[in-house]
Chains A and B, each alone.
Chain A
Amino acid sequence: MYGLDAISAHNGWHMAALGISIVFTGLILLSFTVAQLHNILRLFDNRDAYYKRIRGLFKKNNNKQEVSDSDLSLSNNVKEAAGQCKLLIERIGEPFPLPRLIELSEKCGMSHPYSTINDLILAGFIVPDGKGYYVWNQDEQN
């Protein structure tokens, strides 16, 4: 059997249509998932900030100032951040490992912990102790 009859007899039209549809469906789904992947990861990275925002909605009138790892809210303004980082450094103790300070700032919901701490280093608030750790520079603060 040849020609269109052969295609119809072997169910060719259906197989081809279904086949290409499944290929498209698979790659469209994969494409959509991949396109959202970095957004999902960003959401996951900032989950503390989102939790805090959601919690804030329920606790509007709660003015209690608790200094704990997760309740600190830090801004990106260098001077303000300096004060807030100082609090974190007091918790860690001096000299402190820089990665630990970044980790803690991130947990506290600082939106740009890396660049904020970099600004503090460049501004002289945080200085190396020469042994691989860092200390808070009192002179700069005054």
Chain B
Amino acid sequence: MPVDINIINSLNLFEDLSHAELEEIVSLMRRIRVTEGEAITRRGAPAHTIFIILSGNFMVFFKDGRSYTLHNKGDVIGLSTVVIPFYYTGTAVALSDGVVMSMPGQELLRLIESNPALSDKIMKKINQIIAERIPFVTGRC
């Protein structure tokens, strides 16, 4: 199912982007319905797809049992798609029925590589998110 550009515009990750940049991003995205208990990423699997939550609640858990939950529209899952190690470091499971937007990581990377201005805006946001989550991933809490 295609994604509405206004939805993308309202998300924190993409709020600084121009209309043209948003259109490019939207063309890569698909809406996916998920059901309670469904895993959208699995730890150790190659990270091909990045997910952005539109509705629903999610838990991301790691090998040692550590986990965090995501409940807000715009929260991102699967950042390993665009940064090392390029495989999912955690398993993301839907805690309730919901809707996510999926975007092929290779396509996003290609877009980022071909558009330095866009790259700068998105990577800054992604780095912020990673900085918040890194203790969970590395177990350095």
Contacts and interface: CB of A to CB of B under 8 A. Distances in A.
A112 interface: yes
A112 B61 contact: no
B66 interface: yes
Contacts of A97: 61, 64-67
Q: How large is the interface on B (under 10, 10 to 19, 20 to 34, 35 or more residues)?
A: 20 to 34
A132 B95 contact: no
B84 to A, nearest CB: 21
Given A117-B95, A118-B95, A132-B135, A99 B61 contact: yes
A22 B19 CA distance: 56
Contacts, number: 59
Q: Tell me whether chain A's interface is mostly helix, strand or loop, or mixed.
A: helix
Determine which residue in A99, A113, A122, A128 has the highest number of CB atoms from chain B within 10 A of its CB, and name it: A99
Interface of B: 36-37, 57, 59, 61-62, 64-69, 71, 93-97, 135-136, 139, 141
Contacts of A14: none
Contacts of A121: 57, 69, 71, 95
B74 to A, nearest CB: 17
Contacts of B94: 114
B96 A132 contact: no
